[in-house]
Amino acid sequence: MDACATEAHPAALDHTTIRTIIIGVMLAMFLGALDQTIIATALPTIGSDFGDLENLSWIVTAYLLTGTAATPLVGKLADIHGPRPVLNACIALFLVGSIACALAPSMLWLIGARALQGLGGGGLIALAQTIIGLLVPPRERGRYQVYFAAVFITSSIAGPVLGGFFAQHLHWSLIFWMNLPLGILAAVMSDRALRRLPAHHHRHRLDVIGALLMCLATVALLLAMSWGGTRFAWNSLEILGLFAVSVLVWLGFALRVATALEPLLPIAVLSNQVVRTGVPAAAFCMGTMVGLSIQLPLYLEGVLGLTASQSGLALIPLMAGVVFGATGAGQVMGRVDHYKRVPILGLVCAVGALVALALGPLAPPLWLVVLTTGVTGIGLGTVLPVSTVAIQNAVPLPQLGTTTGLANFFRSLGAAILTAGFGAIVVGASGLQGNGMIEGVLGGGHGGSLALAQAFRWVFLAGAGALTLSLVAILAMEERPLRGHPSPAILTE
């Protein structure tokens, strides 16, 4: 018990040392955060270059899928070996994947390279959250929200603008080439900072079989959602077969969780009430945020007739709203007892904003789109820090890496599923495929714009439905008091 306390007790470091470590880790976190936002506004141009918009969502989905599979393993590896070598390995994988993306000669190559990139990128944000959880007790975490805010404000504003500018005026491959200097700087700075982190090692086994089963089940599900209504009818043998395979493999994964000595998703963590409710709340929220950020440029360019650069600017309210909501909720959380009230109010406003946008998707004034997406972003942002801190607060510190990995696994899974789902709605409900969809996105005719607008009515309603489920989960989550400096009892609970 004393050894465990010595390994994980954050009081061993003063504020200056903690700040130094956090700044180094934030550089790595910025790398992952920027890549999520910078790609969105370039997607229509990439699809046009390759003549393939039907598989466009797979550029994001492939990244999310492999990142989802890697996240729980990364959390376990961080618990076993400490976060520093694992973070360095994630940065290296991310950079190799970035080079492969920049050199992609086809859509299929780009999707495969994004999958490789996701193996590294999936661990960057999860590891940063784990390290913060080790250093700072939940009640004091608001003190360091300014660092998170700086990362996400910069990536949220610079990402869409840079992505749109590169795609319209230079070349979209620069999105990936710019990762090289940023990645090298992040590796040097974070490695130097993490050498000051006290030792943090726990004995764990890696459940590689569980990870493979989870990945296979997710791939089958995403293929069914992406191909349903486009390549194959929803009631076709192919789509029904993919759904059946997904269900069977998920059942096999559940059996693995129940019988493995140390499963990928530990039963002790899954049985925690805060984890059971906080994780789906964050998953539906993250899925809606990523899905909207990927699909909105199609709406802004194909329906409202904006250019790639203009759509990058128009996407800022959504992303900046997420940062604003997250920063505010994080600051309030450590100062009040009933911290759930902030995300509850935020989600109610976000659902109302998406419903309002769905009522008139064809020709809304730009200011209304900016206002509703901004309100949606603020509501989304309130959920993420509250759910993350509440989940970390509910488990003993030796399980922190595993639990944070679990939370990020389901957040990535929610993002992958809803991104694929929103993409399926756009393609299926618009009835536009191939050149017809490209003309619609590039403003090639009123018919294409009208079809896309009708499809986005259902996208906005689907987003409102997902956030309603997030709201239900937040309402059900226990509101446990946030602990300060951990005691030995908490450490070994």
| b/e sequence 430-456, b meaning 16+ C-beta within 10 Å | bebeeebbbbbbbbeeeebbbbbbebb
Measure the CA–CA gap between 444 and 140, rounded to whole angstroms: 53
| Predicted confidence (pLDDT) per residue in 290-309, tens digit | 888 878 888 887 777 777 67
Measure the CA–CA gap between 157 and 152, rounded to whole angstroms: 8
DSSP 486: P
Q: How many CB atoms lie within 10 A of CB 151?
A: 23
More confident residue, 200 or 368: 368
Q: Which residues pair with residue 232 across a beta bridge?
A: 228
Segment (H or E) for 325: helix 316-333
Q: Which amino acid is at 415?
A: A
CATH superfamily, with its number, for domain 2-207+260-491: MFS general substrate transporter like domains (1.20.1250.20)
| Predicted confidence (pLDDT) per residue in 357-377, tens digit | 888 766 678 888 889 889 998
| pLDDT confidence of residue 375 | 92
Tokens 């399926």 locate to 424
Q: Say if residue 248's pLDDT is above 90.
A: yes
Q: Say if residue 381's pLDDT is above 80.
A: yes
Average pLDDT for 140-168:
68
Measure the CA–CA gap between 142 and 147, rounded to whole angstroms: 10
Q: How many CB atoms lie within 10 A of CB 89?
A: 16
Q: Are 458 and 423 in contact (CB under 8 A)?
A: no
| pLDDT confidence of residue 349 | 93
In sequence order, what are the residues at sequence separation of 6 or more whose Cβ sits closer than 8 angstroms to the Cβ of residue 237?
none
DSSP 228: B
Average pLDDT for 272-276:
83
Tokens 């805010």 locate to 149
Q: Is 461 exposed, middle or buried (0-12, 13-18, 19+ CB in 10 A)?
A: middle
- Closest-CA residue to 281 (of 448, 466, 16, 64): 466
| b/e sequence 181-220, b meaning 16+ C-beta within 10 Å | ebbeebbebbbebbeebeebebebeebeebbebbbbbbbb
| pLDDT confidence of residue 469 | 93
More confident residue, 285 or 31: 285
The SS3 of residue 283 is helix
| pLDDT confidence of residue 468 | 93
- Closest-CA residue to 427 (of 232, 167, 164, 216): 232
| pLDDT confidence of residue 123 | 74
Q: Is 318 exposed, middle or buried (0-12, 13-18, 19+ CB in 10 A)?
A: buried
| pLDDT confidence of residue 467 | 92
Q: Are 474 and 379 in contact (CB under 8 A)?
A: no
pLDDT band at 247 (very low <50, low <70, confident <90, very high): very high
| pLDDT confidence of residue 352 | 92
- Residue 23 Cα distances to 111, 129, 189, angstroms: 32, 13, 8
pTM of the model: 0.69
Q: Look up residue 66 and give its two tokens.
A: 């492999």
Q: Look up residue 393 and give its two tokens.
A: 């607060």
Measured N-to-C along each axis, helices 43-50 and 57-81 cross at an angle, to the nearest 10 degrees, of 120
> Quick one: what percent of the chain has pLDDT higher than 70?
73
| pLDDT confidence of residue 193 | 65
| pLDDT confidence of residue 145 | 56
Measure the CA–CA gap between 13 and 7, rounded to whole angstroms: 12
